[in-house]
Amino acid sequence: MKKLWQKNENALTSAVEAFTVGQDRIWDLHLAPFDVLGSIAHVTMLAETGLLPQADSKTLIQGLREIHQEILNGSFILEEGVEDVHSQVELLLTRRLGEAGKKIHMARSRNDQVLVDLRLYLRDEILKTVKSTRQLFDLLQDQSERFKNHLMPGYTHLQLAMPSSFGLWFGAYAESLVDDLVTLQGAFDVVDRNPLGSAAGFGSSFPINRSRTAELLGFSGLSYNVVYAQMGRGKSERITAMALANLADSLARLSMDACLFLNQNFDFIGFPSELTTGSSIMPHKKNPDVFELIRSRCNRLKALPNEILMMTTNLPSGYHRDLQILKEHLFPAFNELQSCMDMAVLMLSRIEVKPSLLEDPKYRYLFSVEEVNRRVLSGMTFRDAYREVGLEIEEGKFEARPAELKHSHEGSIGNLCTREIRERMDTVNRGFPDHKVQSALHRLIAP
């Protein structure tokens, strides 16, 4: 089948075609609904600026809405020999509408067409990731409050350090997700810019209205400079990947903690048997396979920004085919992270926290700092109190254990600041205008 860019019937050799198309046909299906939305906005703008007859515009928009519905119900396919989703949509319109279908590509290039598809796709996936992150955040905060009075050992260098609590532990990862969403908000702000109208990267001599297509697609604004709009491809993927890697890092670290805490030598937590796996020869085993796989998958996601960085290294300005293969690296990352979050929610909602852990004599040195502080409050200098307690520990005489821990400052065992952390998360969440975006896109496809 002739490609959109072919001027005659000369066909590529099958080897060149297979190599250049690669897996693009597979990943293009993820872009299909967004390609149609971009086209509806483009056709609407063309008609409003007088570049396209109103009758053709109405016909094309109706045809595009029908294709959008076919995509949603799963009947849309890329036919054999069709290069990409853009070609398939234009082919269907031309078959069904005749000459009007050939007018849809006026004043744009496949370069800015795929750019706007990618921006819409990334924006949509980021908003889904925000919702999943909020679900995990809410669970962590709930568990933080539920177990705020359950003490546990704290560690530095994996050595016993000071008393901590499960309230602090759960709450720490909740607040970590807030910072992760701050970086995701940065990625959202980058992708929430309309590149459509940059054409091949040098603009168009047609008197198009790029601000209008940005408004129709719910973008917050434009990628103004047409050269930079094209340079943004690769960069927006890398920035998004970095934000996903931050979330993945929090999940991987939490998972490592869970694996340690489930270990019999720690024995801080447990899970119902249906959430752990066993051994083929050791009947006592309860393995944290879910957390081990979350850890590994998330560590793999942490490599994604560097993969994208290396694939785009030393590219000059303008479009290059290198950028095509970014999709097969970035697109699966959203589902991977989503599945890891879903499993973390499942596991942490069923976690069993062991009570009275610090009553074990092996944890008595956790209270050494508490004793130093008690003596300081009684009038001793810190250095003298530290020396006395240290000598008692060396001589095996230290047995001090406070009746209660009196940590009252912000963010401590006795003052988790759950409300303040939630307020900060709410503020970050408001930076993602999901309702505005969905309303704009709904108006494009509504009859």
Contact present, 268 and 261 (Cβ < 8 Å) = yes
- Give me the pLDDT at residue 5, please: 45
Say whether pLDDT at 10 is over 80. no
Sign, CA torsion 340/344/347/349: negative
Res. 271 pLDDT band, cuts 50 70 90: very high
Q: For 305-323, how does the pLDDT look when each residue is reduced to its tens digit (9 = 90+)?
A: 999 999 999 889 888 888 8
What is the CATH number that goes with domain 14-103? 1.10.275.10
The better pLDDT of the pair 12, 165 is held by 165
Contact present, 270 and 307 (Cβ < 8 Å) = no
Q: For 204-253, how does the pLDDT look when each residue is reduced to its tens digit (9 = 90+)?
A: 999 999 999 999 999 999 999 999 999 999 999 999 999 999 999 999 99
What pTM was estimated for this model as a whole?
A: 0.92
What is the CATH number that goes with domain 110-150+165-206+225-358+424-434? 1.20.200.10
Domain with CATH 1.10.275.10 in the chain: 14-103
Mean pLDDT estimate for the chain: 93
Say whether pLDDT at 405 is over 60. yes
What is the per-residue burial (b if ≥16 Cβ within 10 Å, else e) of 195-205? bbbbbebebbe
Domain with CATH 1.20.200.10 in the chain: 110-150+165-206+225-358+424-434
The better pLDDT of the pair 136, 286 is held by 136
| Average pLDDT, integer, range 260-279 | 92
Say whether pLDDT at 6 is over 80. no
- Rounded to an integer, what distance in angstroms lies between the CA atom of residue 194 and that of residue 45? 14
The better pLDDT of the pair 220, 11 is held by 220
Q: For 380-390, how does the pLDDT look when each residue is reduced to its tens digit (9 = 90+)?
A: 999 999 999 99
Res. 403 pLDDT band, cuts 50 70 90: confident
Q: For 40-79, how does the pLDDT look when each residue is reduced to its tens digit (9 = 90+)?
A: 999 999 999 999 999 999 999 999 999 999 999 999 999 9
Say whether pLDDT at 13 is over 90. no
